[in-house]
Amino acid sequence: MAMLTIRHNQIQQMAQASPGRQMIMPCNDNKTWVEVRLVDQNDVPVPDARYQVQLPDGSIMEGSLDSMGAVRFDSIVAGTCKVTFPEIHSTEWHTA
């Protein structure tokens, strides 16, 4: 089974492509994962907090943390993620 991934920045290029021009490039297999855990000042998990994660490919993942205050994304491209908790003021939390 093969998977085709079309990144957001490729959509406009595909729309403007000439017939016969190769637009889909294979993705490399260097996939990784990221896990985010939110704990309070006593290291107690904060369940159900809303999160927003911008993955290295620019895609945005939104949702609520699980009962252990965590969320995990597998098979993502390597790079830097931006994590925010929209319902928590930025001065109320910091990275570990």
Domain residues for the domain of 50 are 30-88
- In whole angstroms, how far apart are CA 93 and each of 8, 24, 71, 83, 86? 31, 41, 17, 12, 11
Residue 79 is assigned to a structural domain of this protein: yes
Q: What is the pLDDT along the chain (96 residues), one digit of tens a residue?
A: 344 445 555 555 655 665 665 555 555 567 888 999 998 888 898 999 999 999 999 999 999 999 999 999 998 988 899 998 988 876 666 666
Among positive and negative, which fits the CA dihedral 78, 82, 85, 88?
Answer: positive
Residue 12 is assigned to a structural domain of this protein: no
Tokens of 76: 């993502």
Number of structural domains (the chain) is: 1
What predicted TM-score, i.e. pTM, was given to this entire model? 0.64
Residue 39 is assigned to a structural domain of this protein: yes
Residue 35 is assigned to a structural domain of this protein: yes
